[in-house]
Structure 1
Amino acid sequence: MEAKNENSDVSRAEEMKNQANEAFKGHKFSQAIDLYTQAIELNGNNAVYWANRAFAHTKLEEYGSAIQDASKAIDIDPKYSKGYYRRGAAYLAMGKFKDALKDFQQVKRISPNDPDATRKLRECEKAVKKLKFEEAISVPVSEKISVAESIDFHTIEVEPQYSGARIEGEEVTLDFVKQMLEDFKNQKTLHKRYAYQIVLQTRKILQALPSLVDISVPNGKHFTVCGDVHGQFYDLLNIFELNGLPSEENPYLFNGDFVDRGSFSVEIILTLFAFKSMCPSSIYLARGNHESKSMNKIYGFEGEVRSKLSEKFVELFAEVFCYLPLAHVINEKIFVVHGGLFSVDGVKLSDIRAIDRFCEPPEEGLMCELLWSDPQPLPGRGPSKRGVGLSFGGDVTKRFLEDNNLDLVVRSHEVKDEGYEVDHDGKLITVFSAPNYCDQMGNKGAFIRFEAPDMKPNIVTFTAVPHPDVKPMAYASNFMRMFN
């Protein structure tokens, strides 16, 4: 009887795995994870189930969970090359090249004739070599010279044959921005002189801001918060179509992750920065976890900047991203941050104001948690699915709001099927503004409009619009393109 039960569990587990594989093929990755989990509950000694679930976690950018699952697959079957392969891919996605290299070396040992494993190992070796070289020639932070200080855009000639948008004089005007948007729509590039002007003027504005910015919306006026746009320029234009261009009367906050993954990140960042330099109170910009050197190296922004602008712009954007504020408070009631809350209780708004943000994001501490954390349904705190930051429950949200006399947390950072999700008894809203994320998730996008004085969230959802045939991650590093 015992054996019969075991057999039926094993065959039911196989059935669950097959259903999970179907869900995975249909890009329903959360559903696939649930089904693989059911298979694992019925038969936890099958390395394939763990490795498959690791792959689904990778698709949702839950690299911490992917590494745990792949490690479990390896424990069950140390000769199962897919386990090392999945774990190596997750390490790569986190920028942990040395750990990834060890796993791909193991794949090669197990499958010496696999051409795919050979190719990935070669790319990984190249990445580690490059990293070692960069570490060897890097200058200590204290001795770094600002690249912005070395640029005078006035001295850059505009060739007579240039036919795109022009800034006449020192001021970025609405006419210029509209012309630039039209040019971008038609896949024309902006002259480097004007790109420098926009980025340098924005840098000056951002540099003067505190790490936590207070926003005041007068009675009768409204304010719009958008989540991640991730290089999806044509969807950004659609947001402006639906909700109007940013202006003093129609202000926006873009809550981080402007760049990477989508292949129109240069167009997005120049658009947001142009509005910021045209009218600082028309648009507020928060740093996301992708406004960082390590992410931009892997997920496409660095390659795109190099291709559309120049090497010097790579350094300039890296510098200016360090000036972006980390959080905003609207009308003393709504706390807006890219990622989430903290590993300790008792964090006050004054602690966030006091963060010295002018650096690459550290791997722990308040700044890291603001950029990387995610909510969880259970109370308390748990490890992050991403392997960075943490997961926090409704009790953590409630306590933070009470401690700071706030009503609501608005955050972004996670793709949601409907473009948004309300959690923690209505005290926390996730908003994500990149529909059909990476051209494959099928999700809606959303933005939130608040009207003063009641500041109730009015959520507007929208679907993806067509874009020119340039694939997401088109400029990403070779090894990331291999995994997509």
Structure 2
Amino acid sequence: MAVGNPDSWIAQLRECKYLPEEDMKMLCEQVRAIMMEESNVQPVSSPVTVCGDIHGQFYDLLELFRVGGNLPDTSYIFMIIDGRVLCIHGGLSPELRTIDQIRTIMRMQEVPHEGPFCDLMWSDPEDIETWNVSPRGAGWLFGRQVTKEFNHLNGLELIARAHQLVQEGFKMMHDKNIVTVWSAPNYCYRCGNVASVFQVDDLLDASNLEKEAHETTEAIKEEDNATRFGPSHFKIFDAGTCK
């Protein structure tokens, strides 16, 4: 298989230039080969930056890198950070009680319409205690007790997930055992929301990270008295532009 130059591709994209079709195919093949070798639960050490959905908003992706850190200095793709923060797209499943069970899922397939793989992709946290049917038609709504029990059983401090639009860029739920991170500002160019990335460092108890809020989001505030993870770990940003 031919090997391209990822640094050259990234430089082209930063200039808002399209990659040739052959380069795109080569890039997809290289990424596929790497990801097929990785575990379902890829361990990563902090410091790292967690981002949520971007929904193809390319100029906002450039802004995300400006705010959160450039590649390859910042790790953006992972599953579990320092054994204490689990990163998933959607949420939990009634068929999964442990991270070890997630490791056994066969993921080299289309996402099924039901089952644990589907639930990890499409479930949502809700202000309930246990489980309820999801109005999305896929995954489940899961509540406070479910999240607390999963974190306790697996020695986790937090679940970080995406999948849902959050007007403030991030939202803590279930007594701050789970956070939704949303990274597509002004979603669909009409929702008026800001976006965020979640920065996890290796000394969270003594973290001096300060929120570098975009000038249009200086009013965002949230109490932080129940967890080591609080607003200072989130960098808020607004829509980017291609220059």
Displacement of 1:467? 6.5
1:406 partnered with 2:239: no
Displacement of 1:173? 4.5
Cα distance in 2, alignment partners of residues 357 and 244 from structure 1: 29
Q: Give the length in aligned residue pairs.
A: 218
- Choose between structure 1 and 2: higher helix proportion: 1
Cα distance in 2, alignment partners of residues 190 and 176 from structure 1: 7
1:434 partnered with 2:184: yes
Displacement of 1:171? 4.8
Cα distance in 2, alignment partners of residues 436 and 373 from structure 1: 23
SS of the equivalent of 1:212 reads coil
Pairing 1:72-83 to 2, within 5 Å after superposition: none
Cα distance in 2, alignment partners of residues 251 and 402 from structure 1: 26
- Structure 2 residues without counterparts, runs of 5 or longer: 206-227
Give the 3 Å change call, closer, same or farther, for CA 357–173 of structure 1 in structure 2. Answer: closer
Which residue of the partner structure matches residue 208 of structure 2? none
1:462 partnered with 2:237: yes
Contact 2:68 2:197 in 1 (8 A): no
Cα distance in 2, alignment partners of residues 383 and 373 from structure 1: 10
Runs of 4 or more above 6 Å deviation: none
Match of 1:228 among 26, 31, 53: 53
1:190 partnered with 2:25: no
SS of the equivalent of 1:418 reads coil
Cα distance in 2, alignment partners of residues 393 and 463 from structure 1: 30
Displacement of 1:210? 1.5
1:279-309 per-position Cα deviation (integer Å, ceiling 9, x unaligned):
xxxxx4xxxxxxxxxxxxxxxxxxxxxxxxx
Cα distance in 2, alignment partners of residues 243 and 412 from structure 1: 16
Cα distance in 2, alignment partners of residues 441 and 343 from structure 1: 32
Pairing 1:59-78 to 2, within 5 Å after superposition: none
Pairing 1:100-139 to 2, within 5 Å after superposition: none
Contact 2:198 2:234 in 1 (8 A): yes
- Choose between structure 1 and 2: higher strand proportion: 2
- Structure 1 residues without counterparts, runs of 5 or longer: 1-151, 155-169, 254-283, 285-327, 469-484
TM (norm. structure 1) is: 0.43
- Residue identity in the other structure for 1:206: M
SS of the equivalent of 2:13 reads helix
1:14-37 per-position Cα deviation (integer Å, ceiling 9, x unaligned):
xxxxxxxxxxxxxxxxxxxxxxxx
Contact 2:169 2:195 in 1 (8 A): yes
Higher relative contact order (CA 8 A, sep 6+): 2
Cα distance in 2, alignment partners of residues 175 and 364 from structure 1: 40
Displacement of 1:193? 2.0
Cα distance in 1, alignment partners of residues 35 and 70 from structure 2: 21
Displacement of 1:208? 0.5
1:239 partnered with 2:64: yes
Which residue of the partner structure matches residue 367 of structure 1? 117
Larger radius of gyration: 1
- Residue identity in the other structure for 1:200: E
Cα distance in 2, alignment partners of residues 194 and 438 from structure 1: 28
Contact 2:12 2:18 in 1 (8 A): no
Which residue of the partner structure matches residue 91 of structure 2? 340
Cα distance in 1, alignment partners of residues 161 and 105 from structure 2: 19
Cα distance in 2, alignment partners of residues 354 and 442 from structure 1: 40
Displacement of 1:342? 1.3
- Residue identity in the other structure for 1:329: I
SS of the equivalent of 1:351 reads helix
Cα distance in 1, alignment partners of residues 240 and 14 from structure 2: 16
Match of 1:388 among 122, 133, 138: 138
Which residue of the partner structure matches residue 329 of structure 1? 80
Cα distance in 2, alignment partners of residues 467 and 393 from structure 1: 40
Say what the alpha-carbon RMSD is for the aligned residues: 1.9
